[in-house]
Structure 1
Amino acid sequence: METVFKRSKFFWEDYFSDKKKGGHRFSIEEFLAKEAKEKLFHLNGGKTLLDFGCGAGELLIYYAPYYEKVVGVDFSRSMLFEAEKKVLQHEYENVDLLLADDRTVWEKLDTKNEILQE
């Protein structure tokens, strides 16, 4: 019996390229459309979205058209650089990126009251 650890790189590339046998529920686009959109849009009246741990900005780009302001926070400068490239590529002017962690985020957010009240 072949163990999971002994399978070749090609086996895994093929396995994960096929969403049906790869065990993936959704592609990222499907996830955003079905799961996150469903949950976030139940927050009535929200004008600002805070994505803490935004990484390379996938959620920021997806939600920017739906909110007046989107704030992406991450402690990784390289991840924020990737997010910034996406924001510029899409020409979104309502997305702010902030380098912070869980200890410094509230000090650095100039709109914290606005975010919490909306």
Structure 2
Amino acid sequence: MGHVYASVKFANPRDIEEGRREKMVEERALVDTGATFTTVPRSLAKKLALPIMGKVTVRTASGEEALDQSYAYTEASGKSTVAPMLVSDKMDKTLLGVFTLEALGLTVDISTGKLKEAEILLL
């Protein structure tokens, strides 16, 4: 099994509300079904002027780390949502986590290595 990457567009939700879609930034994100949150580099959060809402402590492969919490308008595979995310000073790549995948109604198709529409359950 290999890595799954997806083309994802991010924006400050305020820019979308005000019709400034040209401020969206497209990233090649690693789809990480083991990560709860989408995590973006600090440089992307600054470029989009994402609001910082607080901090959360997360467990990573290298130990615990406190990351800033934010949220962003997110588009992938023709779907869009506003999703919570974390901002990292150490990472230089974007991880697309499970909260965002669920909010977008997407899942990984392991036979193709691409995102596909998920069945949404309300049980």
Would the TM-score normalized by the shorter structure come out above 0.5? Answer: no
Quick one: higher RCO (CA 8 Å, sep 6+), 1 or 2?
A: 2
So what's the TM-score if we normalise by structure 2? 0.25
So what's the TM-score if we normalise by structure 1? 0.25
**Higher Cα Rg, which structure:** 1
